[in-house]
Amino acid sequence: MNFNDFEYIRPEMDRMAIRFDDLVEQFEGASSVEEQSRLMDEIGELRSEFDSMYNICSIRHTVNTQDKFYEKENEYFDMNSPKYQELVTKYYKALLKSPYREQLTKEKGDLLFSVADLSTKTFEPSILKDLQEENRLKSEYTKIKAQAKIQFRGEEYNLSSIIKFHDSEDRETRKESLAAKWKFYEDNSGKIEDIYDQLVKLRTRIAQKLGYKNFIELGYARMLRSDYNAEMVANYRKQILEHVVPIATELAERQRKRLGLDKLYYHDEAFKFKTGNAAPKGSPEWIIEHAKTMYKELSKETDEFFTFMNDKGLMDLVSKDGKATGGYCTFIKKYKSPFIFSNFNGTSHDIDVLTHEAGHAFQVYESRNMDVMEYHWPTYEACEIHSMSMEFFTWPWMQLFFEEDVDKYKFSHLAGSIQFLPYGVAVDEFQHVVYENPEMTPAERNQAWLDIQQKYIPFRDHGDADFLNKGGFWQRQGHIFEMPFYYIDYTLAQVCAFQFWKRDQENHDEAWADYVKLCKAGGSQSFLDLVDYANLRSPFEDGCVESVVGIIRGYLDSVDDSKW
């Protein structure tokens, strides 16, 4: 069945709640572990139906935010997802109290109970209306960005399609196109800052109702982080500051010299080489044809997976009017189908986002038959290992897309991955500061961003971009609004992906076997246990970051980038 034929039926919340409560009541009164296990499967089917309809709706809404039917359905889920969360919380509480917990742990795995324990700490009926309001505000932010209309040199663009001008060989084009994009944010900054102000205060109120001092601990519990805490993350950020920021700064200076500029401004950062950035040499359709070849040759598993994605219409890749920004992968359990969403714009990012989201999709495809719904995906930082590592496992096929510019692409991909780490931890530190100080004014938040950016990205110069000089850059980062504290995950995973990159060059078969093993494990283990399972080193371990980036520095230093 093609994705277009996937049936969408709005879940009737009242009817579902009656059935759900009945199953939980039966579970609590069950007289054997076998009966409880069977009821867990029935509850899982009910959850699968709701979750699948939510994801079908979400995909169709983000593909076209101007579709009135799915806009209304998205609003329905904004209102009813918290009610669904209430039902799942009841189930988790019953599960934690099960007299057969020991036997169920042997059958289902102990992580399910960790997930249940953390999840019950994130919900009480008293916050239901607050969660509905949180969903509404997040959707409002998404809609503002999705419906952006940016005027540039007599043509109209959205936030995705304007990007192709940001790495133009013409400096004035770069500067003007970025100025046009940031004018959109400046024009909407009052709305965006107000949405965020409401979100911060709302989330703080939710946390306090649940007994937390502030939102930080609740945010970590929502992310299901069971084996690390904010103190460990702070120490990890310190490693990035000490060992990565100097390399990122050196790379910026190399770029300045390479481009022959007196000063590297923010509008120069995306333009990597005097001879032009590496870009795919063909159309989106051409890219997909080469991706088929790549995944056919990479492994039997990836060939089967990518053929499935193509045949079932499970990718929407090209930017268009009314489409939400960004890229993501989700999973429709009812049809055992991943779905990849992106916004191709003619830059090398098209290949990055395809391989990145394919890494997510491949993982969930490999774990799609797991009985426990919670194990289809791991927690987010573990998820990102699959995606970021796939970007590197596909390096041997990059010549298909970039042809004579393949070495240029690899250099910029690896250097960009290093330079991303300071930005990633800056976003994380910003959120910690915000939720530690929820009464900050919008202007104070903007100043906090400027201070943190200067700490981690000291080479960035906004020139005469007044909005950015006042600290508005963070307002583009959707994760800050939609999934608080989901960003450090990318950096933790990047450190793990670098390890796979190194191992792949040394022994491809061994590295790939561990990667596939990791994908098949899904979310059946916690982040640090999965890292160990894949024979990787924990990013939190002192010395890990230094050792990994040292290898990357060696590779980058061996490349003569001045010729480009």
- Residue 538 has φ and ψ, to the nearest 5°, of -65, 130
* 328-332 sheet: strands from edge to edge: 315-318, 337-344, 328-332
CA distances from 96 to 12, 104, 105, 375, 523 (A): 28, 10, 11, 17, 19
- Residue 40 has φ and ψ, to the nearest 5°, of -60, -40
Within 8 A by CB and 6+ apart from 262, the residues are none
Q: According to the model, what pLDDT value does residue 345 have?
A: 87
∠ Cα 494 499 500 (to 5°): 95
Long-range contacts, 343-346 (Cβ 8 Å, 24+):
343/160, 343/161, 343/317, 343/318, 343/319, 344/284, 344/287, 344/317, 344/318, 344/319, 345/160, 345/161, 345/163, 345/164, 345/319, 346/164, 346/279, 346/280
What tokens does 258 get? Answer: 């390479």
Cβ–Cβ < 8 Å for 160, 145: no
Query: Kind and range of the H or E element at 344?
Result: strand 337-344
Per-residue burial over 322-352, b if 16 or more Cβ lie within 10 Å, else e, is ebbbbbebbbbbbbebbbbbbbbbbbbbbbb
What tokens does 522 get? Answer: 């899904």
Q: Could you state, in order of their start, the residue ranges of all structural domains in the chain? A: 3-126, 284-406+487-520
Q: How many residues does the chain have?
A: 564
Q: According to the model, what pLDDT value does residue 374 have?
A: 95
Residues 539-560 have pLDDT tens digits of: 999 999 999 998 999 999 999 9
**pLDDT per residue of the chain (564 residues) written in tens, 0 to 9:** 999 999 999 999 999 999 999 999 999 999 999 999 999 999 999 999 999 999 999 999 999 999 999 999 999 999 999 999 999 999 999 999 999 999 999 999 999 999 999 999 999 999 999 999 999 999 999 999 988 999 999 999 999 899 989 999 999 999 999 999 999 999 999 999 999 999 999 999 999 999 999 999 999 999 999 899 999 999 999 999 999 999 999 999 999 999 999 999 999 999 999 999 999 999 999 999 999 999 999 999 999 999 999 999 999 999 888 899 889 999 999 999 999 999 998 899 999 999 999 999 999 999 999 989 999 999 999 999 999 999 999 999 999 999 999 999 999 999 999 999 999 999 999 999 999 999 999 999 999 999 999 999 999 999 999 999 999 999 999 999 999 999 999 999 999 999 999 999 999 999 999 999 999 999 999 999 999 999 999 999 999 999 999 899 999 999 999 989
AA identity, residue 255? Q
Query: Kind and range of the H or E element at 151?
Result: strand 150-152
Q: How far apart are the C-alpha atoms of 207 and 560, rounded to whole Å?
A: 52
Cβ–Cβ < 8 Å for 364, 329: yes
Residues 399-417 have pLDDT tens digits of: 999 999 999 999 999 999 9
Within 8 A by CB and 6+ apart from 215, the residues are 200, 203, 204, 206, 207, 435, 438, 484
Q: How far apart are the C-alpha atoms of 40 and 42, rounded to whole Å?
A: 5
What's the maximum distance between 2 C-alpha atoms anywhere in the chain?
Answer: 77
